[in-house]
Each structure stands twice: as C-alpha cells, then as structure tokens.
Amino acid sequence: MFESAKRSRVLFKPQDLRARRVIASCRKLLSERGAAMTASLAKATLDQFRALDRKGQARFFTDLLNEFSPDPAQVLAAAKAYAESATAANLSRLGAVTEPPRQELFRRLNQAPNGTATILHMRERLLELKREQPELDAVDADLRHLLSSWFNPGFLRMVRVDWRTPAYLLEQIIAHEAVHEIQGWDDLRRRLESDRRCYAFFHPALADEPLIFVEVALTDAMAEAVAPLLQTPSTSKDPAHATTAVFYSISNCQPGLRGVALGNFLIKRVVDLLSHEFRRVKTFCTLSPVPGFVPWLRELLRQPDDTHPKALAQALRAVSNEMGSDPARIGGDGRSAAERLAPLEEPLTRLCATYLLYPGLVEAAQDPVARFHLNNGARLERINFAADVSKKALRESAGLMVNYVYTPDTIEGNHQKFIGGEIVASRRVRSLVLTD
C-alpha cells in the first residue's frame, strides 16, 4: 500500500495531499495502544477533515474504503479455522479480522470534543457521495452500524418542547419541520399551545440538537384536514376534554442519522405518555400525506387503458379528463385547486385506496409513509379528500391525507400481519378498492 502511495504521489493534487494527511492521522490514531493521546489525536484528525474541501472529502472516503477494509486473506484463513473448530478463540480471531478497522477508527474519532456531531456531518457528506459512488456503501455500512449502536433508543431522552423551551431549540424546530412548514414564531407558538404537544428525542452527546420531533394535536375527533390544526390565531381548547391525539407531523433533524430507526420509538413513547396523562384520549391516529400516490397515478395513466380492470379504468378516465396525463397539474386552468378537485372526490379516493391496499398493481414502490406506519403496527383507517391543498401536498398526494390508527392492543398483531404481507385496513377503506 505504502509502495503504491509513493509511486502515485506525483499525481496528487493539493486536496489529495490534504486528504492523505487526514488518512495518515487516522493511521496514527488507530495505532495508539494507550488512551493518553486518543482524544487530542482524534480532535486533530477531525479538524483536518473539516478543513478539506468537497473534493478532498471525496478522496478521503475513497481512501477509507481502500485502505481500512478487512484483509481478504486473513478473513479467509480465520473463516477456515473457525469452520474447522468453532472455538471461542477462533471466533474472536474471526471477529477481529472481519470487522473493518474503520469501525475502531470512528469509535476513537468519537472521543474528540463534539466528536459525535462531526461524525454525523461526515456521514451527511458520505450519503451525498454515495449517490455517485455506490461502492462507498461499505464505508457507510460501518457508520450505520456504529450509529445504530450509539443511538440505541435506550440512550435517548424524550423532551417536551413548549413555550418554556430555550429559543435556540425552538429555532431548530422551525428550521427542521419537514411536513407542514412553520412560518415563524407566531405559527410555532400555536403548535405549542396547551391542546398541542411536541416531543423530541435528544442524545446525550448532542445535548443542544434535537434528533427527531413529532407534533400532536389533542382534539375531539379524528382530524379530516390539516388546515384547522395549524390555523392561527386560534382558540386553543382545554386538552382535558380531548378524546383523540392526532400525530400530524414527524420530522428528522439529523440527515446524518438517515436509516437509523427513531421515529417508531418516538411514536411509541408519546402514545404511552399521552395515554397516561390524558385518560379520556382513546384514539391515537395520524394525519399523514400519501407522497407516492401521484407518481403511482401518473405511472398508471401511462399504461394502456385496457390492461386495467374496468372500474379502475373508469376512475382513471375521470381523472385524466379533468387533469390530463399529469395529475399533479391540478388547478392549472385558473380555477382553484378546490374547484378542480371537487368532481374527483370519488375516483381519487378510490384510486388512493387501491394504491394503498394493492401497492403491487404496477411496478412501483409502496408508499413510504404507509410502509412506516403499517410496519409500526398501525391500521389504515380513513382516506380524507382535499385534506391538504398546499402546493407540495397537491403535487405529491393530490391533496389526500390518510389517518393511520395506533391501538396499543393490536399493534403487535398488525405488525406481524404486515410482516406476513397483509395490510390491516378498516372495512370502509377496503370497500373503496376498485376491483371487478
């Protein structure tokens, strides 16, 4: 390795040289046998990394891939020894040579001040790079593995966010809300009033940054549309009379944690907490978008008419009469979205039910929001027409929103059924499916 590094040095650009210097620091850090210098070496290494420009970072990750992977020969030898005799010693040796040295490297980098935050930024960058260099997934696998261990739900602290929360945290809530944008402090305040709740997960190593947060409305019925939940000024109601908790938004704040499951644990914990605090609340539901619906519809409209069952074909025609082949272009002719949508209530709702219950009808991925909640053990309860007429919602979900219901007693069963391929849905939704 050193040989080849020497030979190719002449080709190195300045950024490559800087990346090589970070790699050299990584080697030094990994070779430390005591702890005396670990933290300061880790700090120095991360400082060097941060000083790299984007190309330097790309180079750094490629080097990490090439130079800190397990040695195939050693792995094979250890695997053979273990196959011959499955002793503790052989297993230990196997584990030692199989684990990419990158993992220990990241563990040591984590000892720098703010190490965890920097590693999350590293991964954010790595995720971008992976799009063009899929082989970097091997490096990402190590980070994913470590982050899943470090951000184990057992280490997370759930915190209520309200008007007593320090401003610098609220500011982050405003910035990270991903589902229904927060317009400013007044808008935020409405979402933190006594009949609204917001909970966030924090990790001790990132004390000042929320990881993920969920927004809940305490109401007296399952919400049909999002506008009434967000409207300001509002008369907030006494939450002691609420019967229903509507989870209307869930947002991740750390792109570097993509793929590390947090949302399901957060929902579970909030359901537990609210059911203790509000004895009268019996229904826990979401009000969720269907972001895969319009792409699915577009795909279907592209297919020859006669390949569809009759009812389905009819519904598709109704939609295309009104919107043409792009259902996302609702409201394009001067009429308001609501006006154009009005005649489409039945076909759109039934198409959506069909989409959610038979995702395999065309070759398209299952709706990601549906998959998330169904896998968590929720039931597909109701499809709401014209429930969110914001631009983004029209473009992705044709304005539809779905209530998924979490019933503590059936969560486990529903989850098992979903694992087994069955989607648990209310009779009402099932009756909407367009089949012959």
The residues in 17-36 that bind a second copy, with binding defined as CB under 8 A, are: 33-36
Cα–Cα distance for residue pair 171/184, rounded to 1 Å: 9
The three-state secondary structure class of 192 is coil
Q: Is residue 298 a contact point for a second copy (CB under 8 A)?
A: no
Quick check: 148 binds a second copy (CB under 8 A)? yes
Binds a second copy (CB under 8 A): choice among 110, 286, 288, 397: 110
Residues 401-430 within binding reach of a second copy (CB under 8 A): 411-412, 415, 418-419
Site for a second copy in 364-403 (CB under 8 A): 375-377
The answer to the question of residue 51 lying near a second copy (CB under 8 A) is no
Residue with Cβ nearer a second copy (98 or 325): 98
Output the six-digit token pair for 200: 């966030």
**Tokens coding 360:** 């395999």
Q: Which of 15, 62, 111, 390 binds a second copy (CB under 8 A)?
A: 111
Listed ranges 17-25, 260-268, 346-354, 355-363: which one lies at the site for a second copy (CB under 8 A):
260-268
Nearer to a second copy, 12 or 265 (CB): 265
Q: 213: Cβ–Cβ under 8 A, 6 or more apart, which residues?
A: 161, 173, 176, 198, 199, 200, 201, 250, 251, 253, 266
Please report, as residue ranges, which positions from 171 to 200 form the binding site for a second copy (by CB under 8 A).
171, 184-185, 189
Q: In the chain, what's the furthest Cα-to-Cα distance? A: 76
Q: Which positions ≥6 away from 6 have C-beta within 8 Å?
A: none
Beta strands in 3-131 (DSSP E): none
Q: Is 241 in the site for a second copy (CB under 8 A)?
A: no
Other CB atoms closer than 10 Å to residue 149's CB: what's the count?
Answer: 12
Question: Which residue, 18 or 176, has its beta carbon nearer to a second copy?
Answer: 176
CB of 415 to a second copy, least distance (A): 4
Tell me which of 167, 279, 334, 427 binds a second copy, using CB under 8 A.
Answer: 167
Contact flag: residue 324 with a second copy (CB under 8 A): no
| Binding piece for a second copy, criterion CB under 8 A, among 161-169, 224-232, 248-256, 311-319 | 161-169
Q: How far apart are CA 372 and CA 118, in angstroms?
A: 28
C-alpha Rg value of the chain to the nearest Å: 26
Alpha-carbon span 122 to 27, nearest angstrom: 18
Active site residues: 288, 373
Q: State which of residues 12, 15, 150, 225 lies at the interface with a second copy (CB under 8 A).
A: 150
Per-residue DSSP letter, 390: S
Q: What is the DSSP letter of 425?
A: B
Q: Which of 39, 54, 213, 178 has its CA nearest to residue 122?
A: 54
Binding a second copy (rule: CB under 8 A), the pick from 79, 159, 357, 364 is: 79
72 binds a second copy (CB under 8 A): yes
Phi first, then psi: give them for residue 392, nearest 5 degrees. -60, -40
Task: Tell me whether residue 11 or residue 167 sits nearer to a second copy (CB atom).
Answer: 167
Query: Is residue 37 a contact residue for a second copy (CB under 8 A)?
Result: yes
Tell me which of 155, 307, 365, 431 binds a second copy, using CB under 8 A: 155
Q: Binder to a second copy among 153, 255, 291, 359 (CB under 8 A)?
A: 153
Tokens 């309860």 sit at which residue?
381
Q: Using alpha carbons, select from 435, 436, 414, 405 the residue that is nearest to residue 285.
A: 405
Q: Minimum CB separation from a second copy for residue 425, in Å?
A: 17
Structure tokens at 30: 């990994």
Query: Would you say 192 or 400 has its CB closer to a second copy?
Result: 192
- Taking CB under 8 A as the criterion, the residue among 53, 54, 134, 310 binding a second copy is 134
Cβ atoms 134, 266 nearer than 8 A = no
Candidates 48-56, 147-155, 306-314, 425-433; binding stretch for a second copy (CB under 8 A): 147-155
C-beta closer to a second copy: residue 23 or 262: 262
Binding range to a second copy, per CB under 8 A, among 92-100, 215-223, 286-294, 309-317: 92-100
Q: Which of 163, 333, 365, 435 binds a second copy (CB under 8 A)?
A: 163
Starting from the edge strand earliest in sequence, which strands make up the sheet with 157-160, in order? 157-160, 196-202, 212-219, 244-252, 283-286, 401-406, 379-384
Nearest to 214 by CA among 266, 283, 272, 159: 266
Per CB under 8 A, the list member of 69, 252, 275, 320 interacting with a second copy is 69
Q: Tell me how far, at minimum, the Cβ of 1 lies from a second copy, in Å.
A: 13
Using CB under 8 A as the binding rule, whether residue 329 contacts a second copy is answered as: no
- Cα 275 from Cα 186, distance rounded (Å): 28
State the number of binding residues for a second copy (CB under 8 A).
76
